[in-house]
Amino acid sequence: MHTRGRKIKVFSCNANQDLAKAVCAELGLPLGDSVVKTFSDGEISVNIDESVRGVDVYVVQSFSLPKVNDYLMELLIMIDALKRASAGRITAVVPYYGYARQDRKAKARDPISAKLVANLIVAAGADRVLTMDLHASQIQGYFDIPVDHLKGSPILAEYFLEKQIEDLVVVAPDLGSVTRSRDFSYKLNANIAIVDKRRPEANVSEIMNIIGDIKDKNVILIDDMIDTAGTIVNAVKALKSLGAKDVYACCTHGVFSGPAAERIKDSGIKELVVLDTIDLSDEMRALDNIKILSVAPVFAEAIRRIFNNDSVSTMFEN
């Protein structure tokens, strides 16, 4: 793929190579020739095995299980290697931005780790960041370089529109998800309900009340991410107890840590739809009620637009 005499290359670290290959397939490009390995003492080594001088380079890497911190270091070291090899412009393509939940000081002496990670990416030499559904949108402002923020909800909405589910209500699993859920309900022409919960400690949630009419309705729970699945599973139980019929769930980022697979298996969720910003474990892929949709076409189109200096935001205007 060439434009005005400039070249584009896509590389990947180890977090989600299948997604990187799918993005390359959409662009009609081979995946860049590189090797990312770990020495016996735990140090990470990166080898770029082709010239990148003057090239517009995109590095695909999420910060996710099972090696969140290693994957972050892989990205930083690869960016440094590309910078020292005279790459023209380096874009960090981070489908899932880990540490995004540590975006503010919730109590005294808390770190703001999302800002620290942004500083590290900039210091390593990235010229731009391309990501999807940040947990907190203000993280875009933590970077001193341009950030293109993609949306996963149009992919999810298109899937559910094709299913033509009747008597549908979109449910926000907590108050922080209301805006996202309202936008999603508009796309599906559905009503909205809200789960009122409290979180006494990290990764623990308690359902207090359901705001809205869900009796004898089919419902879709939507969130930006599912981690241990406690919030979603508790919400499903509450919705079922109040008379909801089939309960679907969807999210952009399937973190699925700890007991998530076991919880989802026995949750009563009819179908859980997740995007492939994170490479799912074999245990999660084996679940009968999980459906994985690819973000490769969206990221490929965004990369194409960045390369051609076209607008990325217009991708989501309709």
Q: Reduce the DSSP state of residue 45 to 3 states and report it.
A: strand
Residue 8 token pair: 């584009």
Q: Residues at the annotated binding site?
A: 41-43, 101-102, 135, 174, 199, 223, 227-231
Residue 260 token pair: 């998530």
Q: What is the DSSP letter of 176?
A: G
Q: Residues at the annotated binding site for ATP?
A: 41-43, 101-102
Residue 309 token pair: 């200096």
Q: How far is CA 37 from CA 48, 63, 71, in A?
A: 12, 16, 11
Smallest CA-to-CA distance from 66 within 284, 287, 304, 299 is with 284
Smallest CA-to-CA distance from 198 within 207, 189, 185, 211 is with 207
Question: How many other C-beta atoms can be found within 10 angstroms of the C-beta atom of residue 297?
Answer: 13
Smallest CA-to-CA distance from 135 within 94, 187, 165 is with 94
Q: Residues at the annotated binding site for D-ribose 5-phosphate?
A: 199, 223, 227-231
Instruction: Indicate if 197 belongs to the active site.
Output: yes
Crossing angle of helices 178-188 and 153-163, rounded to 10°: 40
Strands 204-211 and 191-201: antiparallel
Smallest CA-to-CA distance from 313 within 146, 91, 150, 97 is with 150
Torsion of CA 206, 211, 214, 215, to 10 degrees: 90
Residue 189 token pair: 């022409």
Give first-to-last CA distance, the chain, whole Å: 27
List 9, 115, 197, 217, catalytic entry:
197
CA distance 28 to 300: 10
CA distance 305 to 283: 36
Q: What is the set of active-site residues?
A: 197
